[in-house]
Amino acid sequence: MTGTLSHDWRRGPAETAADILLEIQAVLIRPEEPFTFTSGRLSPVYVDCRKIISFPRARRRLMAMGADQLAALAGSEAFDMVAGGETAGIPFAAWMADALDLPMLYVRKKPKGFGRNARIEGEVRDGARVLLVEDLATDGGSKLSFIDAIREAGMEVAHCFVVFHYGVFPQSVTSLKERGVDLHGLCTWWDVLAVAERRGYTADQLDEVRSFLADPEAWDARNRTVSA
């Protein structure tokens, strides 16, 4: 269940971001009717950051917090451009570019196959320091191709920002770190759980989420057996 909870801006930005995502149902908790990921894995939770595009006040607040976080962690003049990955990252990159007052690019998953056969759209600037922006990070795998494309175009990338970081799969951080990229996220599932308790989710629901977070594969196997 989702009760109403006015945003308490005295809380830290991570819990504030989590509260916003729960309010607009960009984060869903449903252990009694598990979601199925594209990998086939069952999950009691689902994150749909695309919902943010329909809530302008929420997205402005999230982007402002993201800009503040990046300034604190990377520096106020750390970036020359912002890039979003096709397709989910494009609106988030546009909003972040606006928040940081920087030019924007977007990176295709594959070359478009005609014309310039480009993977990167926008004005490519040799040596530019690019911030890669995406909606969320699970295992971090999809980010690697975008990072390679940016570097192959002669630009630099050392930071990736996401609104939501699952915080469950260690490779989401390590795989990027091995490529020399730091991953920054506004909030994780642990922040969501802290807020969800105050939003009226039951102890049983949250215990199921914690069980999933502790061992996603075991949770999948157990609930697949139950539902069979």
Is pLDDT at 68 greater than 90 in this prediction?
Answer: yes
* Rounded Cα–Cα distance for residues 39 and 101 (Å): 37
Average pLDDT, the chain: 89
226 or 95, which is more confident: 95
> Can you read off the two tokens belonging to residue 193?
């759980």
* Rounded Cα–Cα distance for residues 163 and 21 (Å): 10
Query: Residue 34 falls within a domain, yes or no?
Result: yes
Looking up tokens 């800009």, which residue turns up?
67
Contact 178, 157 (CB under 8 A): no
Q: What percent of the chain has pLDDT over 90?
A: 76
pTM of the model: 0.88
Mean pLDDT along residues 12-17: 94
Q: Which residues contact 49 (CB under 8 A, 6 or more apart)?
A: 21, 26, 88, 92, 135, 136, 163, 164
Mean pLDDT along residues 96-124: 88
Mean pLDDT along residues 14-30: 96
Query: Residue 7 falls within a domain, yes or no?
Result: no
Per-residue exposure over 43-77, b if at least 16 CB sit within 10 Å of its own CB, e if not: bbbebbbebbeebeebbebbbebbbebbeeebeee
Query: Residue 89 falls within a domain, yes or no?
Result: yes
Assign 141 a pLDDT band (cuts: 50, 70, 90): confident
Query: Residue 21 falls within a domain, yes or no?
Result: yes
Please count the structural domains in the chain: 1
Query: Residue 8 falls within a domain, yes or no?
Result: no
The pLDDT, as a whole number, for residue 85 is 95
Contact 83, 133 (CB under 8 A): yes
185 or 118, which is more confident: 185
CATH code assigned at 223? 3.40.50.2020
* Rounded Cα–Cα distance for residues 211 and 33 (Å): 15
**Neighbour tally for 136: CB within 10 Å:** 22
The CA-atom distances, in angstroms, between 66 and each of 63, 132, 143, 146 are 5, 13, 18, 20
State the residue range of the domain holding 67: 13-227
The CA-atom distances, in angstroms, between 195 and each of 3, 7, 42, 56 are 11, 10, 23, 22
